[in-house]
Amino acid sequence: MLERLLGLDYRRRRLHAKCTEGPLQDYLATPFPPTRSDCRETTFIALDLETSGLDPQHDTIISFGWVAMRGLAIDLSTARHRVIRQQCAIPESSAVIHQITDDQAATGYELHDILSEFLPILAGHVLIAHNAQIELGFLDTACRRLLGGRFIAPTVDTCYLARRWYDRRNRHFRSGDLRLANVRTRYNLPQYRAHDALSDALSCAELFAAQLAEHGVNGRLPLKAFLLPA
């Protein structure tokens, strides 16, 4: 509780001190952007993880998709999709959703290598995800197992922002209303057919761009107003 009051960047320094040498320690060595900075001057990394289930302790990451958003512009040259090599077969139900077969997963990357690629890209920037607890939970578990430390990141959760939108207007919503595709519809964003990790990461970045635009792009857009409370 005390740590929460002390702020995210203080926690970053504490975790950095306790962390094993390696990519995670390098990541934690980079200061987080100040929460008072403007979103236009901030770089965001939208991330989506496809996983075999919802429990980071028992389920595994199947693929990563990410894309960077510099200020209000999503830079597609940064878009990446990485399928992780699996030890055991992917449950059929999640293979259907993610359109990834065992064959693809057997030829994928090592999770360690992808963490080593991803963490330097995220360093000093802000994570965006829809329902970010999943991404944060799986990344934390992976970091503890493979990189000897805890993972934290300043995070924009587009699902949280969507829920807040209803709460602030005192409007009733059903859980389905918070699903990525349904929130996008409210902003006149196109429906994508594909549901791989990269397509969802891009969908999420576009949704955040729309949520920022809703706040009016002429006034200030303080990062603090959009971050998930620590």
Partner 1 sequence: MEVELQEIRDFLSHVVPFDQLNDDALNRLPSTLVVRYLRRGTPFPPADQSDHALYIVRRGAVELRDVEDKLVEKLAEGDLYSGLCLSDDPQGALHGTLVEDSLFYLLPCDTLQQWRSNHPVLEAHFSRTLQHRLRRALERQQAGENHANLLTVAVGHLLTRSPVTASPDCSIRDAARQMTAERVSALLLVEEGRLAGIVTDRDLRSRCIADGVSPEQPVSTIMSRHLHKVSRETPAFEALLTMTRLHIHHLPVVDSSGVAGLITTSDLIRQQSAHTVYLVDTVRKAANLAALVKAHRRLPELQVQLCAAGASAQQIGHAVTAVADALTRRLIELAEEELGPAPVAWAWLAGGSQARREQTVHSDQDNALLLADDYDATAHAGWFKRLAESVCSGLAACGYYDCPGGIMASNPQWRQPWQAWRHLFDGWITQPDGHAVAQAVNFLDLRVIHGDERLFSSLQHEVLQQIRASQRFLTALSETALENRPPLGFFRNFVLIGEGDHANTLDLKRRGLLPVVNLARVHVLSAGLPVIGTIERIHAAVDAGLISREGAEALEDAFNFIGTLRARHQASQIKRGEAPDNFVPPEELSAPERGHLKDAFSAIATLQAALGRHHA
- Which listed residue (29, 54, 217, 225) binds partner 1 by CB under 8 A? 217
User: In DSSP terms, which residues pair with 43 in a beta bridge?
Assistant: 70
Nearer to partner 1, 51 or 141 (CB): 51
> Interface mask (CB under 8 A) for partner 1, residues 50-69, using x and -?
---------------x----
Going by C-alpha positions, the residue among 180, 172, 55, 66 that lies closest to residue 119 is 66
Under rule CB under 8 A, residue 199 binds partner 1: yes
Q: Please give the full DSSP string across 7-26, using - where no structure is assigned.
A: -HHHHHHHHHHHSPSSHHHH
Nearer to partner 1, 54 or 73 (CB): 73
- Which listed residue (2, 5, 57, 77) binds partner 1 by CB under 8 A? 77
Instruction: Quote the least distance from Cβ 65 to partner 1, whole Å.
Output: 7
Chain position carrying tokens 């001057």: 41
Distances (CA, A) of 53 to 45, 62, 95, 112, 115: 23, 10, 11, 20, 19
User: Interior CA angle at 135 toward 134 and 137, to 5°?
Assistant: 65
Under rule CB under 8 A, residue 206 binds partner 1: yes
- Which listed residue (88, 175, 188, 219) binds partner 1 by CB under 8 A? 188
Under rule CB under 8 A, residue 105 binds partner 1: no
Strands (E), the chain: 43-51, 61-70, 73-83, 126-129, 155-157
Number of residues that bind partner 1 (CB under 8 A): 30
Under rule CB under 8 A, residue 75 binds partner 1: yes
